[in-house]
Amino acid sequence: MVFETIGRTIAVVGSLLTFAPGTANSAEWVAGLGADDLFDIDGVPAFAGLVELHSDPFVRAFWVDVSAMASVLVDTEHDIFAGIGLHSLLHFGMDRVFFEFSLAAGGYFPGGESPPRKLTDRFQYRTSIGAGYRLTESSRLSVSMDHLFNSEFENYEPGSETILLRYTKGF
């Protein structure tokens, strides 16, 4: 089952990278590890992994860089989110400290039996907010909180949160 999930994840990442803007000149790869469903009252936390690809920034203004992004988030419950969107890096003129935000839209593929209130729509949005430290000119370490939600924005189906430790490597 794990190998099937990994295989599906690789297929989805490959498909997304084919269509993501700027991937021929990709600026950075991101790998993240963490926990999903931490705040679910009736859920069990799951181990989660993230892979992202950011294009070269197409906006560089003062203290913000904005890039196109392809993202895949998986967990040990075999849930997969794959989407494309925008990633912004805010450094406010600081040399090492930064903040990051992203918004992606894409497909959500539940891996098993989901509780009735868990994400049921195949089309989901993913937001992320994080803060971190620039290790070198081309690498960063950050902590982020991601949130998956559907287009209903209803309280009876509040979505899913994931906390991740992220490593970013620029090329």
Mean pLDDT of 85-98: 90
In this structure, are strands 160-170 and 139-149 parallel, antiparallel, or unpaired?
Answer: antiparallel
Instruction: State the pLDDT at residue 6.
Output: 42
Task: Give the pLDDT band of residue 73 (cuts 50, 70, 90).
Answer: very high
Task: Give the pLDDT band of residue 2 (cuts 50, 70, 90).
Answer: very low
| pLDDT greater than 50 at residue 122 | yes
Domain positions in the chain: 2-170
Mean pLDDT of the chain: 81
What's the fold here for domain 2-170? Porin (2.40.160)
Whose tokens are 């992994």? That residue is 49
What tens digit of pLDDT does each residue of 28-58 get? 999 999 998 777 666 678 899 999 999 999 9
Angle (CA) 76-82-86 rounded to 5° is: 130
Instruction: State the pLDDT at residue 20.
Output: 45
Considering the entire predicted model, what is its pTM? 0.78
Better-scored residue on pLDDT, 77 or 21: 77
What tens digit of pLDDT does each residue of 125-157 get? 999 999 999 999 899 999 999 998 887 755 556
Closest-CA residue to 144 (of 33, 13, 46, 40): 33
CA-CA distance, 36 to 47, in Å (whole number)? 6
Mean pLDDT of 106-123: 69
Better-scored residue on pLDDT, 111 or 11: 111
| pLDDT greater than 80 at residue 119 | no
